[in-house]
Chains A and B, each alone.
Chain A
Amino acid sequence: MQIVDPTAELDVAVRTLAPRSGELRGTVGLLDINKPRGNVFIDHLERLIHDRIPSLEVRRYSKPFFTRVAPPDLRKQILEECQFVIEAMAD
């Protein structure tokens, strides 16, 4: 029996990890998706980074709202301004 494929028939994208520099230097972006108390978690992360990894500069970002994917412009901005990113998700 033959059946017609019900899926989008997309090729699975093969992605490799971004190269690791081996050192924590540069700028880390902290992306808040804006779920309740995500900012509390991000604030704590920022304090820990300042205390333990003073070589890292921290930049804060947030999505307009948690139910929508991050806008392309925001993703592009983070890519241009940071070498690392941490995203705080969920509640």
Chain B
Amino acid sequence: MIPPEPFELPDDVGKIHAAPADRPTFLVFVKEDCATCNLVLPMVQVLHQATGETVDVTVVSQVGSDIPILRDRHDLTMLILDDSELDVSYDAALETVPSAFLFDETGECVAQTYGFLKSEWMELISAAEQLGGTDAIPLDWDNLPALKPGCGAKNVEPGILERLEARRSGKIQGHLIEIPTGVDVHEFLFELGVTDGLPVVPPTPELVWSMLQGTQRDSQEIVANVATSRAACTVEKAAVNAVMAGARPEFLPVILAGLEAVTVEDFNLHGIVCTLGAQAPVYVVNGPIRNVIGMNGGINVLGQGNRANAAIGRSLQLIVRNVGGGKPGDEDRAAFGGPHKYTCCFPENEEASPWPPLHVERGFDADQSTVTVFPLEAPRAILDQYSTAAEQLANNIAWSLTSVTNSRMFNYGELLLALSPQHAGVIANSGWSKDDLRSYLVEATKKPLSTLLADRQCGEGMDKHRYPMIDRVVGEPPDDPDQLVSKLSSKEMLNIVVTGGDASPFSMLFGGWGFFVPLPAGNRSVTVEVVT
């Protein structure tokens, strides 16, 4: 608590009074339902009667409707002010009632106390007597306890604290939208066009303030400019959408890292938002943060049921759409899209992996937490219950790999293979690393170019004339019909993580965004550290 700065408040009939006065002032903040406040108020009344000519004794009630109750209960005759808005209590950073302050005639606070510690109240009353030039006030100190704790001040009660902080802290600077009384708030939000088709949590100022407690970053810090509008997204805007998505404050650092990653120019968010294809940002989380915030990297990792997985991905989707733009039919021209456009965020199951996790492969320390974002299609399953050697399982993976996007689109760009712990064990038990698997798949998916060209059987193919930009952007395309072309333009294009339930004969393969195109024209996955 800090001595309140000069303020003005109404009394119980609405007349405005300034405090502290131009003479010594004794202020005490109270609540009617606080037993300790009721303990001290008779004493304060006696003080007022003894020093009222020379000391302004003023009670400040944190609840306006308490005033007549207190007057009647304790026969109070001093001025009682109404701080129902709790602005003065907030500015004084009160935590407890009663809180008492004694100001001299210059307005300097010369004594203060909270709760009831008899020795401190004796000093406070004595100081008031001296300032007021009165004799010792006859108070029955012997019948008062040595100590009685106060009660929580109204301004720090749950629910009220958040409302006050949202209004007074300056962290919330976004435009406030008033929802008329009687209007269904969820229907309002649907009509506002800010949902993903499912109900969202109404982002009230107090919920947004609570969400902002999840980060130490300033609420007005610009995290990124978001395609397609390139509008600036502040920490506050990210928090608003995180509230809507159902996130908890401790998810916010991961959401902010995901936002930083997806807006890196190399990722090409603009292209992903506008594509005709089925790609969407897919977020993989690594490091200790996964377990701190309760993410699920085990059974049903890609499915529903885990709040962190679901809300982080959904937050990022809402931020991109609401801040950057990209409503279906406007900038978003995807023919199908995919269910992963609602949310797709999951952790790597590092504990079940026989290899270094994704972020360590990318140069981070194991104890750092990261978010990696990929532009991917929805996943398809690869079932293998019987392969016991790495080569056998790898051949099965290769067959699925060749058909990603279409079976004649080779020289492919980035994809993601999510191996189950069971399949990772089959690969590792043969002594293979992730890189061994990648190298094998480059070779195993090679086919003669002649088999990858358009013909009567299928109009798709890697015909040179169909892609006039290839030689300018990608380099000289293959044109020797006997030349072997791999599905993977390079082994680095195959990203591998281990995730999912322990007992799983399924792994999941996420297609990417077509054939390899080098930067700056193309796109790349991006990894960003989570800063808590």
Residues facing B in A14-61 (CB within 8 A) are 34, 36-37, 39
Q: Given A90-B276, A91-B276, A6–B179 Cβ distance below 8 Å?
A: no
A62 within 8 A of B: yes
A77 within 8 A of B: no
Contact of B469 among A2, A5, A65, A69 (CB under 8 A): A65
Q: Given A64-B473, A91-B276, A4–B172 Cβ distance below 8 Å?
A: yes
* Docked pose: A10 CA to B230 CA in angstroms: 11
A4 touches B203 (CB 8 A): yes
* Docked pose: A64 CA to B473 CA in angstroms: 7
How many Å from the CB of A34 to the closest CB on chain B?
4
B202 touches A5 (CB 8 A): no
Q: Is the interface of B mostly helix, strand, loop or mixed?
A: mixed
How many Å from the CB of A11 to the closest CB on chain B?
11
* Docked pose: A30 CA to B275 CA in angstroms: 22
A9 within 8 A of B: yes
A67 touches B523 (CB 8 A): yes
Residues facing A in B248-298 (CB within 8 A) are 268, 270-271, 275-276
- Residues of chain A within 8 A of B456, CB atoms compared: none
* Most central of B236, B271, B468 by chain A CB within 10 Å: B468
How many Å from the CB of A31 to the closest CB on chain B?
14
A2 touches B240 (CB 8 A): no
- Residues of chain B within 8 A of A69, CB atoms compared: 270
B202 touches A6 (CB 8 A): no
- Residues of chain A within 8 A of B240, CB atoms compared: 4-6
* Docked pose: A2 CA to B209 CA in angstroms: 13
How many Å from the CB of A23 to the closest CB on chain B?
33
The residue in chain B whose Cβ has the minimal distance to the Cβ of A67 is B271
B178 within 8 A of A: yes
A68 touches B208 (CB 8 A): no
The residue in chain A whose Cβ has the minimal distance to the Cβ of B271 is A67
B467 touches A3 (CB 8 A): no
B507 within 8 A of A: no
B202 touches A8 (CB 8 A): no
The residue in chain A whose Cβ has the minimal distance to the Cβ of B183 is A1
* Docked pose: A1 CA to B179 CA in angstroms: 5
* Docked pose: A69 CA to B241 CA in angstroms: 27
* Docked pose: A65 CA to B268 CA in angstroms: 12
Q: Given A62-B469, A67-B268, A3–B204 Cβ distance below 8 Å?
A: yes
How many Å from the CB of A48 to the closest CB on chain B?
20
* Docked pose: A37 CA to B469 CA in angstroms: 11
B276 touches A2 (CB 8 A): no
A36 touches B276 (CB 8 A): no
How many Å from the CB of A54 to the closest CB on chain B?
27
- Residues of chain A within 8 A of B176, CB atoms compared: 2-5
The residue in chain B whose Cβ has the minimal distance to the Cβ of A33 is B469
- Residues of chain A within 8 A of B521, CB atoms compared: 64-65, 67-68
A2 touches B270 (CB 8 A): no
The residue in chain A whose Cβ has the minimal distance to the Cβ of B523 is A67
Contact of B231 among A10, A64, A90 (CB under 8 A): A10
* Docked pose: A10 CA to B228 CA in angstroms: 13
B185 within 8 A of A: yes
* Docked pose: A9 CA to B325 CA in angstroms: 11
How many Å from the CB of B335 to the closest CB on chain A?
11
- Residues of chain A within 8 A of B13, CB atoms compared: none
* Docked pose: A39 CA to B468 CA in angstroms: 8
The residue in chain A whose Cβ has the minimal distance to the Cβ of B239 is A4
* Docked pose: A9 CA to B268 CA in angstroms: 23
B174 touches A36 (CB 8 A): no
A68 touches B241 (CB 8 A): no
* Docked pose: A62 CA to B231 CA in angstroms: 27
How many Å from the CB of B531 to the closest CB on chain A?
23
A4 touches B466 (CB 8 A): no
- Residues of chain B within 8 A of A36, CB atoms compared: 466-467
Sample of 25 A–B contacts (CB below 8 Å)? A1-B202, A2-B176, A2-B177, A3-B202, A3-B204, A4-B172, A4-B175, A4-B204, A5-B240, A6-B237, A7-B194, A7-B323, A8-B226, A8-B229, A8-B232, A8-B324, A9-B174, A10-B231, A65-B473, A67-B275, A67-B513, A68-B270, A68-B521, A69-B270, A91-B276
Q: Which 4 A-B pairs have the closest CB atoms?
A: A8-B231, A67-B271, A65-B521, A5-B175
Q: Which residues of A contact B (CB under 8 A)?
A: 1-10, 34, 36-37, 39, 62, 64-69, 90-91
**Other A-B pairs, 7, CB within 8 Å; known A5-B240, A36-B466, A67-B521:** A2-B177, A3-B177, A9-B175, A68-B268, A68-B270, A90-B276, A91-B276
